[in-house]
Structure 1
Amino acid sequence: MLPQLEYSILTQDSEDIQQLITIIDQCFVGFPGSEAYINLVGVENFRIIRQSRQIMGGLAAIPMSQWFGGERVPMTGIAAVGIAPEYRGGGVAIAMLEHTVRELYDNGVPISVLYPATQRLYRKAGYEQAGIYSTWEIPTQTIQVREQPLPLKPLVPINLEAFYPIYEQQARLINGHLDRNTFHWQRLIQSKDKETVYAYLIGEIDKPEGYLIFTQDNGILQIRDWAILTRDAARSFWSFLANHRSQIEQIQWYSSSVDSLSLLLPEQTAKIISQFRWFLRVIDVVKALEKRGYPLGISVELHLDIRDNLIPENNSKFTLSVSNGRGEVSQGGNGDLQLDIRGLAPLYTGLFTPYQLQLAGQLAGTETALLAASQIFAGVSPWMPDFF
């Protein structure tokens, strides 16, 4: 039996902040500067759960947006979820998450995303695999792209605003990319252990066609962020990296599980060295389905029967009508596609097709409903380069 728990927003109370810092430090060994992280995220974006004056755990709930179908969908990112060791295993973590999900619904948030340390806990709260975070690597000597149609111009000092419009042009085409805020941009240029962060625009200053931000250490060039808008920019990107071959042995970057930049390489020498799946929860079914974009040129209805044990308002039948790239949701319908709130997450993002989700037992439906869902949620495989 759980003791009486109190869920609340972290305040400026110094004792509360110090308790949370202690928990974060103990939960995440080597976490770089818990106090600085809390200040960067904002005290008002932390939630805590306590008994009397004793804080048992906490998490960060960071307001963001994410691109789906070419439209921004408001999203809250969950991070730094930690429970003090003496309170683990007693249901405190799931209680905190359930409170958070309910708060997000009450505040009108359509979706929430997190990177799970364990799947079981977050699945209990309705989260499910929804997108990819992959690290690629290639031996510099094997790039063999020599043509460089465009110049690369260093930005010293780094002016992040120069990257905003380039990133957005690319991000709006990729399901799952963040509509970044200051928190994400600043983290891209933070130096660690006296390392130098380099930033280059690809193309002319007044009309850039891409950029890259990177660091160098021990023979590895680590690309923290990149955007490529044209074929010439892609060739210039690879040529610039190939020219580091005398000092750099490996190039690493973040990309999709199927990287289109690798098409320009002479051989299949680029490999995924790590891959992780981020989780998404549909917080408000109606808002989530109406906020995202859909393929142009289709006009179709999908009748959903959704089960959500945590948010009763989602536990119902809905009809999604898609036309001209937009969706409208009404209550009711035939319920031809049956799924719980977890199964809706990878369908919503396009990580898996309806047929794949049916094989995994995540949904069931008529052939007509499966075909309609395949048309509605078709798109670029979801991924993002940001970790939070």
Structure 2
Amino acid sequence: MKSKFECSAITTSEEVKQIATILEQCFISSPGDEEIYVNSIGLNNFRVIRQDKQIIGGLATISQGQWWGGQCVSMTGIGGVGIAPEYRGSGAALHMMQHTVKEIHASGVAISALYPATQKLYRKVGYEQAGSFCSWEIPTESIQIKEKSLPVISIPNDSGVFYDLYSKQARHIDGYLDRNPVIWKLIFKPDEQEKFYSYVIGSVEDPQGYIIFSQHHMQNDSILRVKDWVVLTPAAAQTFWSFLFRHSSQIDKVRWRGSVVDPLTLLLPEQAAKLRYSELWMLRIVDVIKALSLRGYHPNLKIELHLEIEDELIPDNSGKFILTVADGRGKVIKGGRGELKLHISALAPLYSGLYSPQQLQIAGKISAPEGAIFAATQLFPSVSPWMADFF
């Protein structure tokens, strides 16, 4: 009979090499890339799973925040989940994820997010679809926005202006990260034979946005790839497009990351921008009381919602709860009538607004009387939550 699995942090450089070798095979990486990744995440933030003291897989935990309703909620991102091929199907990945979710809960973090290679595994531990990660593309000549409302000024890639501008935009986009330093490093880390160009939109004294991009020859096209961007004003949005349009003599197409319904495209004269790809990331409510209390709500709401939640993995999340919202903030206590019944996984898309309460009810994910559905719709309006970052 095989011994039980054991999960722990990495402790030695030899263990770094062992897990890196496994991840290289899992993700078809170049030799050495995964060792760099593990070290960049930090040994304290990487978990490995062992059987008979042999490392058979691992994952990264990235402590950061995520913006919901204008408030930043503590979040742990999960990345780099990999199991050696000879141990796949053994239950190792499920055990590792169960252990990790319990550990995140014990640390006091409210929510967790990840990008799934397979939904089936993560749904077993309470994750569910919650927001989008999208890439858009437009022929540069089709932009046709010529007026530049603001100056565009070249700045160094290590300029501190990016952090403040990003934070100002992030708080208004549900799903955006309060970025961990590791994520910022990935923003400025070029791929092989890649160079970044960074510009602030507006004056140095009054910046209203920025754009970071690289340029590439791909098959028969020349591509401008926007790595990161912020626009805080209508003038900045106009200038964002006019600046990109001015590349049309040399650049065939522009690519950027945006929402699945991207408001930037409202400025374009025609529907020439197309989604290149779109995938959904998943969210797990790790601590029900903290998650519902820390996020923001509409400031004019004064309402109460009675929930009954089932969570087999985290018993503290199971039972009846009353969410009371006033002045844009929520307060949660145990008890109440338990009118809106749902599994912890279904709370994720409700919380994020990816799907409306009525849509979740039709899908069989929640059960509630009409009054509770109405209250939930006011508390969690259907939006287009998205992230600009992959981890």
TM range (shorter): over 0.9
Task: Give the secondary-structure state (helix, strand or coil) at the position aligned to 1:194.
Answer: coil
Task: Give the secondary-structure state (helix, strand or coil) at the position aligned to 1:138.
Answer: strand
> What pairs up with 1:120-139 in 2 under 5 angstroms?
120-139=120-139
- Assess if the C-alpha contact under 8 Å between 2:322 and 2:334 holds in 1: yes
CA offsets, 1:168-203, max 9 Å, x none? 111100100000121111111112112110110000
- Assess if the C-alpha contact under 8 Å between 2:306 and 2:336 holds in 1: yes
The match for 1:344 among 340, 343, 347 is 347
Aligned position for 1:375: 378
> What pairs up with 1:156-175 in 2 under 5 angstroms?
157-175=156-174
> What pairs up with 1:31-110 in 2 under 5 angstroms?
33-110=33-110
**Distance in 1 between residues matched to 2:19 and 2:127, nearest whole Å:** 24
1:364 aligns to 2:367 (yes or no): yes
**Distance in 1 between residues matched to 2:373 and 2:35, nearest whole Å:** 48
Aligned position for 1:119: 119
> What pairs up with 1:288-303 in 2 under 5 angstroms?
288-303=291-306
Aligned-pair CA distance for 1:159: 2.6
Unmatched runs of 5 consecutive residues or more in structure 2: none
Percent identity, aligned pairs only, is 52
**Distance in 2 between residues matched to 1:93 and 1:106, nearest whole Å:** 20
**Distance in 1 between residues matched to 2:50 and 2:8, nearest whole Å:** 8
TM-score, with length taken from structure 1: 0.98
Deviates more, 1:160-169 or 1:270-279: 160-169
CA offsets, 1:113-170, max 9 Å, x none? 0000000010011100000101000000111001001010011x32341111111111
Give the AA of the match of 2:24.
D
Aligned position for 2:261: 258
Aligned position for 1:204: 203
**Distance in 2 between residues matched to 1:286 and 1:70, nearest whole Å:** 18
**Distance in 2 between residues matched to 1:7 and 1:187, nearest whole Å:** 27
**Distance in 2 between residues matched to 1:324 and 1:3, nearest whole Å:** 53
The match for 1:335 among 335, 338, 343 is 338
Task: Give the secondary-structure state (helix, strand or coil) at the position aligned to 1:163.
Answer: helix
Aligned position for 2:329: 326
Give the AA of the match of 1:192.
D
**Aligned pair count?**
386
> What pairs up with 1:206-225 in 2 under 5 angstroms?
206-218=205-217, 219-225=222-228
**Distance in 1 between residues matched to 2:382 and 2:294, nearest whole Å:** 16
CA offsets, 1:232-258, max 9 Å, x none? 111111111001011100000000011
Task: Give the secondary-structure state (helix, strand or coil) at the position aligned to 2:20.
Answer: helix
- Assess if the C-alpha contact under 8 Å between 1:174 and 1:380 holds in 2: no
1:309 aligns to 2:312 (yes or no): yes
